[in-house]
C-alpha cells in the first residue's frame, strides 16, 4: 500500500519533519520495544470477538488474523513508515496491504486508538508490575536467608544514628523483610487496579455495534471490563498507583542501602560488601567503595521524580482522552521500572555476597551505652521506683562514666549506688548479678522475647511468619501469571481455529 493511500481523515498533508522527529518517531520506537506484541494480542482478541458476534465473517476474520499472526511470529516483511503517525496505523497498514481495504479495514470496527492504546498500556503495566513483584520476592528470599544466619549477631540498634538498645542483625533484617512484604502487597494492589479492561470504550462514547466486552476482557486476561466507556479512555490513575508503589519500594531499598552504607565504614565495620560489588579509588588504593549501595540510594530519588512527573502530566487534563494523559503520563512508568529493576537486582547480589562481622557488632554493643536502658528497667524491678526516677539515676551514671572516659561495660556497682543515693537519698537493692545481666548485650537481647523483640527465639518466629507469607505471596504471583497465560492460550486456540478453518 503506498503512502498516498494512507488516510489522515480531513488532514490533507503528512506530518511535518519536526513532528515526526520529536513525537512520532520516539513514540513508535518506544512502542516497538515495549508493547508491539501487546497491540497484536489486542488485535487478535478484538477480531475473534467480532467474528463470534457475527460482525466479521469467518473468512474476513481468518484473513485479518493470518496477517496479524505474521507480525506476531516475525515472518512479516514489516517496515515502519513514520508518516503513518504511530505504531497502530503501521500495523493496520500492513494488514490492509495483505488483505485489502475492505477486509483489513474492518479490523478497526467498534474500536478507537483511544481504547486500544489504553488497553495496551494496562497490559504493559501489569506485565511490569508482576515482574517487579517477582524480583521483590527474590530479594525477600535472600534477605530471610541472611537473617537466619545472623540470629545471634548482637549489635547496637540506633535511633537518630545514636546507639539506642541492643538488637541482632537478624532482627534488623526481619524489619526490612516486613517492609518488603508491604511493598509486594502494594504492587499486587496496583496490579488489580490496573488489570481491568478498557477495550470497547472506543473513543469515549461506546459503540452501536453489539460487541461483547466481557469476551475480550477474558481473553486478554483482565479481571473484567471497565464499566464506563469514558472512564475506559480517561483513567490513568492506575499509572500513578503503580508509580507510587515503585517509589515507596525505592524508599525501602534506599533506607536499607543507607544503613548498610554506614555499617560498611571503617568506623563501624559491622559488614563488608563483596569485592564484586565494590569499586576502588583511582588515586587512593586503600578505598573500597560500596558501589551498588550508592547507586541504589541515588536511583530512589529518580523513582520519586518519576511519580511527580507523571502526576504533573496528568494534573489539570480533561477527564477524557488526550495525549498528555494517555501518552505522557505513562512514560515515566517505563523509566521507573527500568530503574527499580536494576535496584532490586543490585540489592539482591549485594545481600547474597554480604559478610557480617559479629565480633565488631558485639564489641560496639559492649562499648556504647545501648545497654543502660535495661539498667534503668532493672532498677524499676528491683527497687519498685518509677521509670522516670530510674531514668534520672542512670543518666547520672552515664554522665559520670563519660567524664571519666569509661565505657558502658566498665560501670561498677559502686557507681550505680553512689548515683542512686544522690538521686533517691538511699541505697539501691541492685546486686552485682543484676548489674552484669543488665549491661550484658547478649543477655539484654535474649531477655526481650516478647512479640516483636530481638531475642533469637522470637526473631526465628518472625522469620518463620515472613517465610510463610513469602511462600503464600509466591503462590499468589504464580496464580496471577497463570491466569494471564491461560487466557492467552484460550485466545490463541480460538484464533487458530479460525485461521485453520477452510
Confidence of residue 2 (pLDDT cuts 50, 70, 90): very low
Q: What is the pLDDT of residue 7?
A: 67
What proportion of the chain, given as a percentage, has pLDDT over 70?
Answer: 98
Confidence of residue 9 (pLDDT cuts 50, 70, 90): confident
Confidence of residue 502 (pLDDT cuts 50, 70, 90): low
- 8 A C-beta contact, residue 239 and residue 126: no
Q: Greater confidence, 23 or 229?
A: 229
Q: What is the pLDDT of residue 3?
A: 40
Task: Give the pLDDT confidence of 307-342 residue by residue, as tens digits.
Answer: 999 999 999 999 999 988 988 999 999 999 999 999
Residue 276 burial (C-beta neighbours within 10 Å; 0-12, 13-18, 19+): exposed
Q: Is residue 154 classed as helix, strand or coil in its secondary structure? A: strand
The yes-or-no verdict on residue 5 having pLDDT over 90 is: no
Q: How far apart are CA 80 and CA 33, in angstroms?
A: 13
Q: How far apart are CA 287 and CA 268, in angstroms?
A: 15
Enumerate residues 6+ apart whose C-beta is below 8 A from 88.
39, 113, 116, 117
Q: What is the pLDDT of residue 280?
A: 77
Residues 63-70, mean pLDDT to the nearest whole number: 96
pTM comes to 0.93
Task: Give the pLDDT confidence of 123-142 residue by residue, as tens digits.
Answer: 999 999 999 999 999 999 99
The span from the first CA to the last CA of the chain, in angstroms, equals 27
Residues 281-297, mean pLDDT to the nearest whole number: 83
Q: What is the pLDDT of residue 215?
A: 97
382 Rama sector, left if φ>0, alpha if ψ -120 to 50, beta otherwise: alpha
In angstroms, what is the C-alpha Rg of the chain? 31
Enumerate residues 6+ apart whose C-beta is below 8 A from 30.
331, 334
Q: What is the pLDDT of residue 76?
A: 79
Contacts 24+ apart (CB under 8 A), 173-178: 173/143, 173/144, 173/146, 173/147, 174/147, 174/459, 174/462, 174/463, 174/466, 176/143, 176/252, 176/256, 177/140, 177/143, 177/144, 177/147, 177/463, 177/466, 178/462, 178/466
Which DSSP string do the residues of 399-427 spell out, in sequence order? HHHHHTT--GGG--HHHHHHHHHHHHSS-
The yes-or-no verdict on residue 1 having pLDDT over 70 is: no
Q: What is the pLDDT of residue 178?
A: 98
Q: How far apart are CA 283 and CA 289, in angstroms?
A: 13
Q: How far apart are CA 358 and CA 152, in angstroms?
A: 8
The yes-or-no verdict on residue 285 having pLDDT over 80 is: no
- 8 A C-beta contact, residue 234 and residue 204: yes
Q: What is the pLDDT of residue 274?
A: 85
Task: Give the pLDDT confidence of 426-461 residue by residue, as tens digits.
Answer: 999 999 999 999 999 999 999 999 999 999 999 999
Instruction: DSSP letter for 84, please.
Output: G
Q: What is the pLDDT of residue 501?
A: 78
pLDDT, averaged across the chain: 93
Task: Give the pLDDT confidence of 240-259 residue by residue, as tens digits.
Answer: 999 999 999 999 999 999 99
Q: What is the pLDDT of residue 6?
A: 61
Residues 164-189, mean pLDDT to the nearest whole number: 98
The yes-or-no verdict on residue 11 having pLDDT over 80 is: no
Q: Is residue 454 classed as helix, strand or coil in its secondary structure? A: coil
Residues 144-163, mean pLDDT to the nearest whole number: 95
Residue 231 burial (C-beta neighbours within 10 Å; 0-12, 13-18, 19+): middle
Beta bridge partner(s), residue 158? 163
The yes-or-no verdict on residue 30 having pLDDT over 90 is: no
Which DSSP string do the residues of 256-322 spell out, in sequence order? HHHHHHHHTSTTT-SEE--GGG-B--SS-TT--B-HHHHHHHHHHHHHHHHHHHHHHHHTT--SS--
List phi, psi (to 5°) of 162.
-110, 145
The yes-or-no verdict on residue 278 having pLDDT over 90 is: no
Q: How far apart are CA 138 and CA 351, in angstroms?
A: 11
Amino acid at each position: 500500500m503506498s503512502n498516498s493511500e494512507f488516510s489522515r481523515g480531513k488532514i490533507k498533508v503528512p506530518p511535518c519533519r519536526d513532528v515526526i522527529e520529536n513525537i512520532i518517531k520516539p513514540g513508535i520506537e518506544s512502542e516497538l520495544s515495549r508493547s508491539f506484541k501487546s497491540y497484536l494480542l489486542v488485535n487478535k482478541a478484538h477480531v475473534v470477538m467480532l467474528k463470534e458476534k457475527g460482525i466479521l465473517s469467518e473468512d474476513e476474520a481468518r484473513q485479518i488474523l493470518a496477517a496479524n499472526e505474521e507480525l506476531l511470529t516475525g515472518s512479516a516483511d514489516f517496515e515502519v513508515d513514520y508518516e503513518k503517525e504511530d505504531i497502530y496505523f503501521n500495523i493496520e497498514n500492513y494488514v490492509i496491504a495483505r488483505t485489502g481495504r475492505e477486509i483489513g479495514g474492518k479490523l478497526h470496527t467498534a474500536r478507537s486508538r483511544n481504547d486500544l492504546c489504553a488497553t495496551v498500556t494496562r497490559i504493559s503495566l501489569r506485565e511490569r508490575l508482576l515482574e517487579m513483584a517477582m524480583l521483590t520476592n527474590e530479594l525477600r528470599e535472600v534477605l530471610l536467608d541472611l537473617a537466619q544466619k545472623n540470629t545471634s549477631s548482637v549489635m547496637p540498634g540506633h535511633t537518630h544514628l545514636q546507639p539506642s538498645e541492643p538488637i541482632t542483625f537478624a532482627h534488623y533484617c526481619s524489619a526490612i523483610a516486613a517492609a518488603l512484604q508491604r511493598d509486594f502487597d502494594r504492587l499486587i494492589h496496583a496490579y488489580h487496579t490496573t488489570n481491568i479492561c478498557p477495550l470497547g470504550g472506543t473513543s469515549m462514547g461506546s459503540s452501536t455495534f453489539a460487541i461483547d466486552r466481557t469476551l475480550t476482557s477474558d481473553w486478554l486476561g483482565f479481571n473484567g471490563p471497565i464499566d464506563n466507556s469514558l472512564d475506559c479512555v480517561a483513567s490513568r490513575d492506575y499509572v500513578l498507583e503503580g508509580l507510587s508503589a515503585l517509589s515507596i519500594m525505592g524508599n525501602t531499598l534506599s533506607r536499607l542501602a543507607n544503613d548498610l552504607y554506614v555499617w560498611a565504614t571503617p568506623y563501624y565495620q559491622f559488614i563488608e560488601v563483596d569485592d564484586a560489588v565494590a569499586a576502588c579509588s583511582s588515586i587512593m588504593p586503600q578505598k573500597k567503595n560500596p558501589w551498588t549501595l550508592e547507586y541504589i540510594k541515588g536511583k530512589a530519588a529518580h523513582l520519586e521524580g518519576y511519580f511527580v512527573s507523571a502526576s504533573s502530566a496528568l494534573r489539570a487534563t480533561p477527564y477524557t482522552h488526550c495525549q498528555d494523559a494517555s501518552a505522557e503520563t505513562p512514560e515515566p512508568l517505563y523509566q521507573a521500572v527500568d530503574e527499580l529493576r536494576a535496584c532490586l537486582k543490585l540489592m539482591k547480589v549485594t545481600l547474597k555476597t554480604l559478610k557480617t562481622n559479629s565480633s565488631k557488632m558485639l564489641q560496639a554493643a559492649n562499648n556504647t551505652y545501648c545497654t543502660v536502658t535495661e539498667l534503668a528497667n532493672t532498677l524499676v524491678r528491683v527497687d519498685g521506683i518509677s521509670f522516670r526516677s530510674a531514668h534520672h539515676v542512670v543518666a547520672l551514671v552515664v554522665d559520670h562514666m563519660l567524664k571519666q572516659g569509661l565505657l558502658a561495660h566498665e560501670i561498677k556497682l559502686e557507681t550505680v549506688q553512689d548515683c542512686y543515693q544522690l538521686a533517691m537519698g538511699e541505697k539501691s537493692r541492685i546486686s552485682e548479678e543484676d548489674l552484669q545481666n543488665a549491661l550484658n548485650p547478649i543477655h539484654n537481647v535474649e531477655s526481650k522475647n516478647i512479640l516483636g523483640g530481638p531475642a533469637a527465639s522470637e526473631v526465628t518466629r518472625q522469620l518463620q511468619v515472613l517465610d510463610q507469607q513469602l511462600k503464600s505471596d509466591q503462590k499468589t504471583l504464580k496464580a496471577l501469571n497463570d491466569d494471564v497465560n491461560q487466557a492467552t492460550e484460550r485466545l490463541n486456540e480460538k484464533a487458530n481455529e479460525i485461521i485453520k478453518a477452510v
